[in-house]
Amino acid sequence: MVRALFALLAGLLVLLAACGSGPAAPAAPPAPAPVPVAVEPAVGASDVAPRAAVAATTEGTFTDVTLTASPGGAVAGTLSPDRRRWTPNGPLAYGATYTWSGTATGPDGGSSPLTGSFTTVAPGETVRATLNIGDGREVGVAAPITLQFAAPVEDKAAVERALQVRTSVPTEGSWAWLPDQDGGSRVHWRPKEYWRSGTQVDVAANLLGVPFGGGAWGREDLTTSFRIGRAQIVRADVNSFRMVVERDGRQVMDVPASYGTDSDPARTTRSGIHVVTEKFPSKRMVSPQFGYDVVMGYAVRISNNGEFIHANPGSVGSQGSSNVTHGCVNLSPADARTYFDSALYGDPVEVTGSGVDYSARDGDIYDWAVPWDQWQAMSALT
């Protein structure tokens, strides 16, 4: 009977074991977390300036990023080495819709889409600007950099912050805003002292996307790269009746000359630093005030008030002994041609000894007639 009882208990244990639950099923792995993605400007932003900060960033890594302009197409950009930040390579365009697309992934395999769009400002007016020195030119040591705007600039500080001058050797200089003329504004840059010969100069006017004030914006970016040539300086003492030319510190010309007569202030050759701006193999010169209409050879313009260095066969008898001109520097045809052939835009012509000083009333390039501290004060950023 005892044996039968043990058999019954064993059967019950087997039955209970058979009816009990098996091992628990493994839990399902959690879904990968989304990867944070951010864009600037904010999604839906409008009237965004073309030079505003634009970027897509993620805490994961981007597998692809595209910013597409309508109109315009895909925007060129750069993905950071860690693939966490994308930025455009340059300013955006005006009046366009920009749309993001792409994907970011996280270390656990999760992903998030890159989406959203924004629009850039559509200006009522864009203002054109021009630089005076073209790429690859060689200019004289007194050459100013001039930027002429086709319309008045109200926010001069914003514009000036967008201007850069880089030089191959350290050069102290400053921008200065001159009085508006010809329906627009103008800003000049000059060094404190003459340029050093051989200096390479790179100018960037990053004006696209810059607000000029009054609803106007910059039309486009401008750049130029030029070189400062040999250091040629004209020394023109009106009381010596001679014109001396120095090149790289050596005298290369010393020739008879006749200057404007001091008996009439309107005819006096102005004392001060003039700048060579143009030259003409022959130039018609007309003055209703003084009643002449003549053509002169080898004419080198040194101001916009009518002052030239030029040949004048008719005054050869006075050259070297008296001043009889209407303000120009008269040379013999042979001497005028020699000087003409050597002259570059930006060469300084230092006139001394006359009774009237060169000033703003004598033309648009009177930069060197302005004392340095006053010139600096004409910057919009002072």
Active site residues: 310, 328
| Tokens 């570059």 sit on residue | 344
Between CA 298 and CA 338 the distance in angstroms is 9
85 C-beta neighbours (distance < 10 Å), count: 16
191 C-beta neighbours (distance < 10 Å), count: 22
CA 15 to chain centroid, in Å, comes to 93
User: Could you tell me which of 290, 105, 260, 134 has the C-alpha nearest to residue 203?
Assistant: 134
Between CA 53 and CA 358 the distance in angstroms is 46
Q: Which residues lie closer than 8 Å to 298 by C-beta, 6 or more apart?
A: 279, 281, 310, 311, 331, 333, 336, 337, 339, 340
* 83: amino acid identity, one letter: R
Between CA 142 and CA 203 the distance in angstroms is 16
Between CA 201 and CA 167 the distance in angstroms is 5
User: Could you tell me which of 215, 167, 213, 216 has the C-alpha nearest to residue 192?
Assistant: 167
CA angle, 352 as apex, 348 and 354 as ends, to 5°? 130
| Tokens 């102290």 sit on residue | 172
Helices (H), 20-110: none
User: Could you tell me which of 204, 196, 201, 235 has the C-alpha nearest to residue 222?
Assistant: 204
| Tokens 């001159």 sit on residue | 178
* Phi, psi angle pair for 208, to nearest 5°: -60, 125
Q: Which residues lie closer than 8 Å to 163 by C-beta, 6 or more apart?
A: 147, 175, 187, 189, 203, 204, 205, 206
Whether 64 and 223 have beta carbons less than 8 Å apart is answered as no
